[in-house]
Chain A
Amino acid sequence: MTKSELIAQLAERFPQLVAKDADYAVKMILDAMTDALARGDRIEIRGFGSFALNYRPPRTGRNPKSGEKVLVPEKYVPHFKAGKELRERVDLGGS
């Protein structure tokens, strides 16, 4: 499922709204989630899961082409942990 399919599904679910509202709502939700993580905040969606940041300490890597050592600075990476309901539904769907 892609973003445009998700928007179409939601537009169908809310026939009283104009299609543009679903489009705008999806973009707004995704922007708000991106902004929250960019600020260093967590996201907790009951029944779906949580998004948080994991810290990656600085390390020396190597340029695979030249073999030269390069310092890779510390950074944060987004991490998702599925919530109970999502975990259970996905697992049952697979069996």
Chain B
Amino acid sequence: MTLTKAELADLLFEQVGLNKREAKDMVEGFFEEIRTALERGDSVKLSGFGNFQLRDKPQRPGRNPKTGEEIPITARRVVTFHASQKLKAAVEQLSDASKQP
């Protein structure tokens, strides 16, 4: 099973009592607000879940794995996610093989 926006919207429809349109827009809005904050250069801290942070990576040498040709990997800004202690603890116990992802 994979959790997607559709399941999240269903949940808001069933549990929060939003109508289908509102539930879908709320889920879209949730992720859009996070994207907008990150795009602005803000980090996003969701207590109990985790933090989305930005890292500025300098240019580094790279290689086209097919041709072996050297091409620089340009400097870029990337998003990193750090799970909260609570989220880490929630997934840590998942050690029995039957539940292996």
Contacts and interface: CB of A to CB of B under 8 A. Distances in A.
Contacts of A70: none
A6 B44 contact: yes
Interface of A: 1-3, 6, 9-10, 13-14, 16-17, 21-22, 24-26, 28-30, 32-34, 36-49, 51-53, 55, 73-80, 82, 85-87, 89-95
A89 B91 contact: no
B93 to A, nearest CB: 8
Interface in B35-57: 35, 37-50, 52, 54, 56
14 contacts: A6-B37, A14-B25, A14-B29, A28-B15, A29-B27, A38-B91, A41-B1, A53-B94, A76-B101, A78-B50, A89-B35, A90-B78, A90-B79, A91-B77
A75 B16 contact: no
Given A32-B11, A44-B4, A94-B54, A10 B30 contact: yes
B20 interface: no
Interface in B42-101: 42-50, 52, 54, 56, 76-81, 83, 86-88, 90-92, 94-95, 99-101
Given A6-B33, A21-B18, A30-B48, 4 more contacts: A47-B31, A86-B79, A90-B79, A92-B39
B87 A82 contact: no
B92 to A, nearest CB: 5
B16 A78 contact: no
A10 B46 contact: no
A46 B5 contact: yes
Contacts of A82: 78-79
Given A34-B90, A44-B3, A10 B79 contact: no
